[in-house]
Copies of this chain bind each other. A is one copy, B any other.
Amino acid sequence: MPDSDGTTAPANEPTLDEQIAAYQREFADLDPQVEQIVSALGRLNRRMNVAYGRQTATLGISNAEWEVLKALVLAGQPYRMGPGDLAKQLGLTPAAMTHRIDRMVAEELVTRDRDEANRVRVIVGLTDTGRQKWLDAMELATDFEEDLLQDLSTKERGILGELLTRLLVRVES
């Protein structure tokens, strides 16, 4: 017997359109066009992170660990970075980085060594296992991403990329 009086809301998440309509009712000054973009960005990102999480889980790592592997690969050969730089790039505190590296060293995804040239510094390096995990994750991720974008033509993808990049420039400057 579902919900005899209407007091309890349905469990279903509102659609994007419903969400924007509700915001407009509750907040008169809202620009629906802006809200559509912002809300879609937020909702898309949440779904994507869930999808990535499912994929990395099948490889036995977490999204958090994948982020570290990404940063190290991005640094290029010889795949080394300091914990501080890693923390900055991932938006973590140095303390969190220390703990995360602890775990990843235990799982042999990365190595941690003291920099002999400057013994205050530490160097985090990618292991072969770590690099392979990144490659495997990348394989899964690109499949998913191609799937996500399958309804957009090449031209539309170009436009979308260009528009997003312009937003990013504004917010990263």
CB distance from A97 to the nearest CB of B (A): 13
Q: Which segment of A7-15, A54-62, A100-108 sits at the interface?
A: A7-15
CB distance from A28 to the nearest CB of B (A): 10
CB distance from A53 to the nearest CB of B (A): 11
Chain A binding surface, main DSSP class: helix
Cross-chain contact A163 with B152 (CB below 8 angstroms): yes
Copies in the complex: 2
**Could you mark each residue 12-43 of chain A with 1 if its beta carbon is under 8 Å from any beta carbon of chain B, else 0?**
01111001001101110111011111101111
Contact partner of A9 (CB less than 8 A), chosen from B42, B80, B138, B164, is B80
10 A/B residue pairs, CB under 8 Å, sorted by A: A5-B117, A11-B85, A27-B138, A29-B142, A34-B149, A38-B48, A38-B148, A41-B48, A42-B48, A159-B159
10 interchain residue pairs of minimum CB distance: A40-B164, A36-B161, A45-B45, A47-B171, A160-B163, A22-B74, A37-B161, A9-B75, A33-B157, A11-B85
